[in-house]
Chains A and B, each alone.
Chain A
Amino acid sequence: DAGVTQSPTHLIKTRGQQVTLRCSPKSGHDTVSWYQQALGQGPQFIFQYYEEEERQRGNFPDRFSGHQFPNYSSELNVNALLLGDSALYLCASSTDRVLGYGYTFGSGTRLTVV
């Protein structure tokens, strides 16, 4: 049973560019959450998608947007990249059918903005 798959694993972009990160959730999971983790910090919640809609959002600017597809996979888009956007971006999948927390994380995409 495949877990959460993220692509690409590493990415280098120039300041001002746009980037798209992809995530395939664990089989049986219908909810996808995205996190940003700066070096030495805990993951920070960006937003969560369920039934193809953003239903919760953390304290991130509108430059961060996302999408969820009918097969539950998801994309994270970041526009007008800043040097401070350099981080490990984590995707986590879950399902509301399981009470409490059952987040499965991917290994992340390491984004470097130069």
Chain B
Amino acid sequence: LAKTTQPISMDSYEGQEVNITCSHNNIATNDYITWYQQFPSQGPRFIIQGYKTKVTNEVASLFIPADRKSSTLSLPRVSLSDTAVYYCLVGMNSGGYQKVTFGTGTKLQVIP
């Protein structure tokens, strides 16, 4: 399984764009990159998933360079409610199996 490296914590002011970068140097050809958000005492919530280039949904954007060895989650105009832990995961379907391994995540603190 590809190992991921993220900053342990980040602070941002309300209304700013936040970019969280994840390093995954040994990502495999079939691996997807997925980001989850987790609030205290709740289960992680799926944010966005991508394979290459750029993916955007109503919540965030995911930028993946051509070599796919890193990815950046972009949260536009964060609010206090975006304070949470953000996890970057890489993994694949292999023979129909799925493996999901979480790292320590990035604790984002949004400041008023």
Chain A positions within 8 Å of B93 at CB level:
96, 99-100
Given A96-B93, A100-B32, A45 and B43 touching (CB < 8 A)? no
Q: How far, in Å, is B43 (CB) from chain A's closest CB?
A: 3
Q: How far, in Å, is A78 (CB) from chain B's closest CB?
A: 19
A41, A99, A105: the one contacting B43 at CB < 8 Å is A105
Give the complex CA separation of A42 and B102 in angstroms.
6
How many interface residues does chain B have, given as a range? 20 to 34
Quick one: closest B residue to A94, CB to CB? B98
Interface segment, one of B15-23, B44-52, B57-65, B68-76 = B44-52
Give the complex CA separation of A43 and B102 in angstroms.
6
How many interface residues does chain A have, given as a range? 20 to 34
A112 in contact (CB, < 8 A)? no
- 1/0 per residue B72-112: CB within 8 Å of A? 00000000000000010101010011111111110000000
Q: Are A108 and B42 in contact (CB under 8 A)?
A: yes
B34, B43, B103, B105: the one contacting A101 at CB < 8 Å is B34
Give the complex CA separation of A45 and B87 in angstroms.
14
A76 in contact (CB, < 8 A)? no
B41 in contact (CB, < 8 A)? yes
A4 in contact (CB, < 8 A)? yes
Listed in ascending order, the chain B residues whose CB lies under 8 Å from chain A are 32, 34, 36, 41-46, 49, 51, 87, 89, 91, 93, 96-105
Which 7 pairs across A and B sit closest by C-beta, in order of nearness? A105-B43, A42-B102, A100-B32, A101-B34, A43-B102, A96-B96, A90-B43
Listed in ascending order, the chain A residues whose CB lies under 8 Å from chain B are 4, 31, 33, 35, 41-45, 48, 55-56, 88, 90-92, 94, 96, 99-108, 110
